Amino acid sequence: MHMGRIIFATGNAGKIREINAIMADTGMEVVSVKDAGIQIDVEENGKTYEENALIKARAAAAVSKDIVMADDSGLEIDYLNGEPGIYSARYLGEDTSYRIKNADLVSRLEGVPDEKRTARFVCAIAAVLPDGRELTVRAAIEGRIGYEEKGANGFGYDPIFYVPEFQKTTAELTETEKNEVSHRGKALRLMKEELKKYENITCQ
């Protein structure tokens, strides 16, 4: 089997942990840009998740010979017209704690009944292959915004994202459970299928 390396253009430790677990069966080593000694400083000024994922992947691909991937994701709350969406990381400021961001979103939904609390996590993954070819995939998980933070797993908005099938938030799911149903798990599995179509890249 061809053993290769995938450089993942993310600085988000929560994403990297999930991505490593989801990609474990590919036989490919997933390395964060930081661990690969690559520094990228990009402005995520795209209008879509796909554009932003490509901006990050292209920046790392410019200085790497490996396959490069990037994830751009976000939380879309229907009652808030899709906010925070592609601005999820920047909502209330990049350095603001998620305790504050989550409490703020919950308070903006005060008095809103269950059926109007619908939301989804969306994830686009972009890949730039060594020959310059570019791929993007997207997936989502549907859920509802809870009434308070619950659970300590995951990261970001997980403690307020309630998944009806499990009757739990994504922060109460184990990492394996989350990866089976999450936007990121689904998107990465789609990307694995895309990569299988290319020669010299073997995924199980």
Minimum distance of ligand ITT from residue 35's CB (angstroms)? 13
CB atoms within 10 A of CB 91: 20
Question: According to the binding rule CB under 6 A, does residue 143 interact with ligand ITT?
Answer: no
Question: According to the binding rule CB under 6 A, does residue 76 interact with ligand ITT?
Answer: no
Question: According to the binding rule CB under 6 A, does residue 198 interact with ligand ITT?
Answer: no
Question: According to the binding rule CB under 6 A, does residue 169 interact with ligand ITT?
Answer: no
Question: According to the binding rule CB under 6 A, does residue 119 interact with ligand ITT?
Answer: no
Catalytic residue among 72, 104, 114, 158: 72
Among 88, 102, 136, 179, binds ligand ITT (CB under 6 A): 88
Strand partners, 141: 121
Q: What is the dihedral of CA 144, 190, 126, 138, to 10 degrees?
A: -30
Which residue number is nearest to ligand ITT in terms of Cβ? 156
Output phi, psi for 13, to 5 deg. Answer: -65, -35
HSE value, Cβ hemisphere, 13 Å, CA-based, for 136: 17
Nearest to 162 by CA among 146, 140, 178, 177: 146
Question: According to the binding rule CB under 6 A, does residue 186 interact with ligand ITT?
Answer: no
29 to 58: interface string for ligand ITT, x by CB under 6 A: ---------------x-----------x--
Spatial separation of the C-alpha atoms in residues 11 and 78, rounded to whole Å: 28
CA distances from 61 to 16, 47, 136, 191 (A): 18, 21, 15, 17
Which stretch in 22-30, 66-74, 110-118, 190-198 sits in contact with ligand ITT by CB under 6 A? Answer: 66-74
Minimum CB distance to ligand ITT smaller for 119 or for 203: 119
Return the amino acid letter for 179: N
Strand partners, 31: 7
Q: Is 110 helix (H, G, I), strand (E, B) or coil?
A: coil
Q: Please indicate whether residue 72 is annotated as part of the active site.
A: yes
Minimum CB distance to ligand ITT smaller for 26 or for 182: 182
Residues forming contacts to ligand ITT in the complex (CB under 6 A) are: 10-12, 15, 44, 56, 71-75, 88-89, 121, 154-158, 170, 182, 184
Q: Which are the catalytic amino acids?
A: 72
